[in-house]
Amino acid sequence: MSSLTPFFNPKGVAIIGASSNPNKLSFGIFSNLTQYGYQGGIYPINPNAKEILGLQCYPDVASIPGEVDLAVSVVSGGLTPDILKACGERGIRAVTIISGGFREVGEDGKSLEQRCLEIAHQYHMRLIGPNCVGTMDLHSGLNTTFIYGVPDKGGIGFISQSGAICGGIVDYVRSKHVGFSNFASLGNEADVTETDVIEYLATDPNTRVITVYAEGIQDGRRFLEVARRVSRTKPIVLLKAGKTNAGAKAVSSHTGSIAGSMAAYRAAFHQAGVIEVASVEELFDVALALDFQPRPSGNRTVIVTNSGGPAALASDSLAENGLVLGSLTPETQQAMRARLNPSAQVSNPVDMLGGAEPGDYRMALEMVLADPLVDAVVPILVPQALIKPEEVAHAVLDITRSTNKPVVTCFMGDRAVDGAREILHAGRVPMFTFPESVGRALGGLSTYQKWLERTPIDWPMSGRGLKKAVLPGLQQHLGQGSLGEKDTRPVFEAYDIPIVEGGFAKSADEAAQIAATINTAVVMKIVSPDILHKSDSGGIRLNLIGGESVRTAFKEMMEKVQSTHPEAHLEGVMIEKMAPKGVEVIVGMRRDPSFGPLLMFGLGGIYVELYTDVSFRVAPVSVDEAREMILDTKAGRLLTGFRGAAEADLDSVIDCIQKISRLSLDHPEIEEVEVNPLVVYPKGQGSVALDGRVILGGHA
């Protein structure tokens, strides 16, 4: 049995701090626990009361006579450590802490939360919260929240780091006949995290879709590993708050969550098969479709409607979510034309006009769903005075029972279509109020199908770099900050990242000697820890040929850079072979506080900051993931032969990305790595790093 089972299906529940005062949250929790069919023991703990709602009160958890494996603490935060000790002594292994006053309020609260966690570990207890709303299981009848009402019973599991979001969602879905299996409000996540609950719901037989509202993910690498595995069997739909600086600040003040960069989150969601959505409404639009409908075999969609305006809006929504308006066979069109209003449109959208009756919907849907060119269907109804939406809903259900193609409906309106919604949802056909929702819903189904079609990739892959060869060189630079090209070259060499031929020179004579060894045109670059952008400071000279030109260039460069940057320490110069022209890209990594090494690829050279044409993935990456990462960018289009240009050596770029990935995993002391530019040559001719840098943290 999972250690989280008591939070959803316990044998007995103690409500610590239960009150008979209807104005207190603890009364609301206790009342909810007694009225939704929970069959286990219920034990209110209150030394000053004899009974609450007809159930005997107990002075403490030690005096509970029956089996109890879940405690819900509603006492003030300062009393919580003693409560946890008492629960531990009683043998209770799951505690939900509803109270606030912990990490979210500052350092004192953070210390209190840490003390609670230490006690939980001592007694092998799991904690949900603090600062949360509690949990529900619609199938066991458990409700330890103070939320008013419950949603219908169904297949959607919901995890939230915000308690208020839970209350709003319950109220939102109750009238829409959307069924849930579980609710879990996690608050500060002192112990149980969203990743733990995702892992639990993966094995819950009543949960078909997992939905998450997340403000921050503390252990990003574990989340990625678990979500990647779970999404192979159950879809995960996630809404991330804190996408902007203002949002991130609000998240931090709300829960004290650790928030990584959105680039890291988006990369991780993509790699784990998590379907990211942009709003609460979209979260449940997509979840409802995934719960009710089969996944499409393709993206060809047909709209069947009684109004052209909503069909146009739905068409836009479909296109925005990767779906297309499919064609119908001439036979299908001819058969519908013979039976519909002569003025009806029978291509796509199929517009049966305002007078369309339930029988017209039944006939048109039957023909469209039987068409081999159709992958999904969207029936749209705008209510008319003489047409009952409930009868159209029954017609839709009658036809969809015998198809394996997804059907997502839009019945516009509110009160007039409420009965139709109840009918359709009872028959497991999602109904939305507005046309914009259908594209999001079908887009979610299509996205999940594409994820399942991808070849599974083991994760995490172990690093296979040359750690011993590089580490001593890095150790001596810890605390130094940024390593320039001179000190970065040995790191790249150890990982077999191809670098341009060259060397470091402290004097004009040394520079001339290196140039003579290269025996072709060379480039000279200033070496200084105080100069980041060499070209902006006059620190690069190109096409130098012969020892005398190199000596002259050395003296001129030193004088010019010293005059423009008098505070800079000039170590010398790099003398490197002038590399042939190719496509310039950037390959890099920066370490995210939650997800670890975040790999970057994009258009390189001097324009990288101007165009910001970049894509990201969390290390490690497979060959397929690295290729996909490249092709996500405009730079990737250049490499594959844009407008007749020669195809570049994509495999060499993939190889470089994977080597940077291994370097990053091998050495956690590396905060950032950058190869810029990596010049990529035509297919079969490889690529070469012309410049690079490494930024180290303060310790290994």
Query: 604 with 587, same domain?
Result: yes
Query: 156 with 89, same domain?
Result: yes
User: 358 lies in which domain range?
Assistant: 294-438
Instruction: Among 19-28, 88-97, 690-699, name the one with the lowest average pLDDT.
Output: 690-699
Query: 169 with 265, same domain?
Result: yes
**Segment 265-277, tens digit of pLDDT:** 999 999 999 999 9
Domain at 547, CATH number: 3.30.1490.20
Tell me what the mean pLDDT of segment 158-184 comes to: 89
| In contact, 390 and 342? CB cutoff 8 Å | no
Query: 100 with 164, same domain?
Result: yes
Peptide bond before 372: cis, by omega within 30 degrees of 0? no
Query: 206 with 82, same domain?
Result: yes
Tell me what the mean pLDDT of segment 432-446 comes to: 97
Cβ atoms < 10 Å from Cβ of 663: 25
Query: 392 with 510, same domain?
Result: no
Q: How confident is the model at residue 462 (pLDDT cuts 50, 70, 90)?
A: very low
What is residue 87's predicted lDDT score, i.e. its pLDDT? 97
Domain at 429, CATH number: 3.40.50.261
- The sign of the CA dihedral 104, 106, 109, 113 is positive
Domain at 621, CATH number: 3.30.470.20
Query: 224 with 92, same domain?
Result: yes
What is residue 388's predicted lDDT score, i.e. its pLDDT? 95
Evaluate whether residue 490 is within a structural domain.
no
Number of domains in the chain: 4
Q: How confident is the model at residue 609 (pLDDT cuts 50, 70, 90)?
A: low
- Residue type at 633 in one-letter notation: T
Residue where the block lists tokens 């993939």: 654
Q: How confident is the model at residue 466 (pLDDT cuts 50, 70, 90)?
A: low
**Segment 399-425, tens digit of pLDDT:** 999 999 999 999 999 889 999 999 999
In this prediction, what percent of the chain has a pLDDT beyond 90? 77
**Residue that is last in its domain, among 577, 606, 623:** 577
Peptide bond before 22: cis, by omega within 30 degrees of 0? no
Query: 94 with 217, same domain?
Result: yes
**Category of 430 on φ-ψ map: left (φ > 0), alpha (ψ -120 to 50) or beta:** beta
Evaluate whether residue 475 is within a structural domain.
no
Smallest CA-to-CA distance from 104 within 260, 258, 253 is with 253
Max CA distance (Å), the chain: 101
What is residue 365's predicted lDDT score, i.e. its pLDDT? 97
Compute the distance between CA of residue 98 and CA of residue 127 in angstroms, rounded to an integer.
10
Compute the distance between CA of residue 347 and CA of residue 326 in angstroms, rounded to an integer.
9
547: pLDDT strictly greater than 80:
yes
Q: How confident is the model at residue 472 (pLDDT cuts 50, 70, 90)?
A: low
**Segment 549-596, tens digit of pLDDT:** 999 999 999 999 988 888 888 999 999 999 999 999 999 999 999 999
Query: 178 with 257, same domain?
Result: yes
Evaluate whether residue 469 is within a structural domain.
no
| In contact, 360 and 340? CB cutoff 8 Å | yes
Query: 180 with 269, same domain?
Result: yes
Query: 158 with 129, same domain?
Result: yes
Element (DSSP H or E) covering residue 143: strand 142-143
What is residue 255's predicted lDDT score, i.e. its pLDDT? 40
What is residue 612's predicted lDDT score, i.e. its pLDDT? 73
Evaluate whether residue 303 is within a structural domain.
yes
Evaluate whether residue 386 is within a structural domain.
yes
Evaluate whether residue 216 is within a structural domain.
yes
- Residue type at 366 in one-letter notation: E
Cβ atoms < 10 Å from Cβ of 686: 18
Evaluate whether residue 492 is within a structural domain.
no
What is residue 645's predicted lDDT score, i.e. its pLDDT? 77
What is residue 364's predicted lDDT score, i.e. its pLDDT? 97
For all residues of the chain together, what is the average pLDDT? 91
Query: What does residue 129 show for φ and ψ, rounded to 5 degrees?
Result: 105, -155
Query: 559 with 541, same domain?
Result: yes
Compute the distance between CA of residue 325 and CA of residue 344 in angstroms, rounded to an integer.
18
Q: How confident is the model at residue 173 (pLDDT cuts 50, 70, 90)?
A: confident
Query: What does residue 458 show for φ and ψ, rounded to 5 degrees?
Result: -65, 140
253: pLDDT strictly greater than 70:
no
**Residue that is last in its domain, among 288, 311, 331:** 288
Q: Which residue has the higher pLDDT, 478 or 307?
A: 307
Evaluate whether residue 365 is within a structural domain.
yes
Full-model pTM: 0.91
**Residue that is last in its domain, among 288, 312, 327:** 288
Residue where the block lists tokens 């915000």: 162
Smallest CA-to-CA distance from 214 within 594, 687, 545, 507 is with 594
| In contact, 693 and 488? CB cutoff 8 Å | yes
